[in-house]
Amino acid sequence: MKRNDYLHIIERQLDEVTIALVGKYTALEDAYASVLKALNHAALFCNRKLKILFIHASDLEANTQKDDPVKYHEAWQQLCSAHGVLVPGGFGSRGIEGKIAAIEWARTQSKPFLGICLGLQCAVIEFARHVLHYKDAHSAEFDKCEHQVVIEMPEHNPGNMGGTMRLGRRTTHFVNDDSIVKKLYGNKASVDERHRHRYEVNPAYIEECEKAGMKFVGRSDDNERMEILELENHPYFVAVQYHPEYISRPLKPSAPYLGLIWAACGELKNVLSHVAKEQSPTDISAKSPSPFSHVNLFRHT
Ligand SMILES: NC(=O)CC[C@H](N)C(=O)O
């Protein structure tokens, strides 16, 4: 490596990328260990120093505004200062409204957003409430409302935690060639990722969501389960029903996480324009200022 290249890398590593992690267990960083690792792998690949802002989802809610306005304003100030927003997986209703508020903010402010599992379900609820105007829209996990845009999967027996979850490695097929995520995965026709959930997007609302710009670009083998969504006309609004962090590796970052970091750095468009032209995302790594130019960086198993 030439001295100048080396200096350039050092210089770029001083640039920071800030990601707001809007979760429930934020006091327990360990609960999000694999998410944090995946973010770090992606930031390393992009030569950015990663700064995580842990935000308690409930601090973004109206109740906190009433009871502790300083905490509420601090939480919103943190969210607004981030380059990108991540809503990770989770269970239970605490903090749900805060997660939905953070997602609405990312959607309307064109902030890069990645939702994981529950994060995807919250993105669909947010969209149904504020774009499709179903004010009561919710998940069956939390509310017996009229517009249940997230429902129990048939194989889940309520009250029987653990064994009834949809678990483990499953195949997701891309159904849309314009998908940003498909490009990030190296234009593969399908990808295998690990799952851990009981609820799913209600197929009854898919057509309406898609007409309004929320595209379900990745689906299960039988085309029934919505695995990846993307918003049209947004720099990076992506959510996945699976947990891509589980197979992220230091030198093989997970594609959806890499997309978030690239978008948060303002480089995603540039990177993807190379993919479109050259049809090979591995070429990007050779051209980018990254110190890593591993062939097969976008490997996906
Ligand atoms: N892992 C998760 O985020 C689970 C999401 C949601 N609670 C479900 O069971 O479907």
Verify whether residue 245 is a known catalytic residue.
yes
Instruction: Give the pLDDT score at 122.
Output: 98
% of the chain residues with pLDDT over 70 = 83
Predicted confidence band of residue 277 (pLDDT cuts 50, 70, 90): low
Predicted confidence band of residue 296 (pLDDT cuts 50, 70, 90): very low
How far apart are the C-alpha atoms of 248 and 261, rounded to whole Å? 14
Q: Looking at the predicted structure, is the pLDDT value of residue 163 above 70?
A: no
**142 Cα: distance to centroid of ligand 1 (angstroms):** 11
Contact of 173 with 222, CB cutoff 8 Å: no
Catalytic residue among 46, 117, 122, 265: 117
Choose between 287 and 152: higher pLDDT: 152
Residue 110 neighbours by CB distance under 10 Å: 14
**167 Cα: distance to centroid of ligand 1 (angstroms):** 11
Q: Looking at the predicted structure, is the pLDDT value of residue 162 above 60?
A: no
Predicted confidence band of residue 283 (pLDDT cuts 50, 70, 90): very low
Verify whether residue 46 is a known catalytic residue.
no
Choose which CATH entry (3.30.450.40, 3.20.20.450, 3.30.300.30, 3.40.50.880) describes domain 3-300.
Answer: 3.40.50.880
Verify whether residue 207 is a known catalytic residue.
no
* Mean pLDDT calculated for residue range 135-158: 88
Work out the mean pLDDT of the chain and round it to a whole number: 87
Instruction: Give the pLDDT score at 250.
Output: 86
Contact of 114 with 259, CB cutoff 8 Å: yes
* Mean pLDDT calculated for residue range 91-112: 96
- Using alpha carbons only, what angle is made at residue 189 by residues 171 and 113, rounded to the nearest 5 degrees? 75
CA-proximal residue: ligand 1, atom 7 (nearest): 91
Q: Which of 117, 156, 196, 240 to mutate to test the pocket of ligand 1 (most atoms within 8 A of CB)?
A: 117
Closest of 210, 263, 243, 214 to residue 119, by C-alpha: 243
- CA torsion through residues 200, 247, 110, 103, sign: positive
* Mean pLDDT calculated for residue range 80-99: 95
Contact of 243 with 156, CB cutoff 8 Å: no
pLDDT tens column, 128-146: 999 999 999 999 999 889 9
**237 Cα: distance to centroid of ligand 1 (angstroms):** 19
* Mean pLDDT calculated for residue range 80-98: 95
Give Cα 70 distance to the centre of its chain.
28
pLDDT tens column, 192-238: 999 999 999 999 999 999 999 999 999 998 888 999 999 999 999 99
Closest of 122, 198, 190 to residue 167, by C-alpha: 198
How far apart are the C-alpha atoms of 170 and 242, rounded to whole Å? 9
How far apart are the C-alpha atoms of 226 and 207, rounded to whole Å? 12
Ranges of each domain in the chain: 3-300
Contact of 222 with 270, CB cutoff 8 Å: no
Phi, psi (degrees; rounded to nearest 5) at 180: -65, -45
Helices (H), the chain: 3-13, 33-45, 62-67, 69-81, 96-108, 118-130, 180-184, 206-211, 255-264, 268-278, 281-287
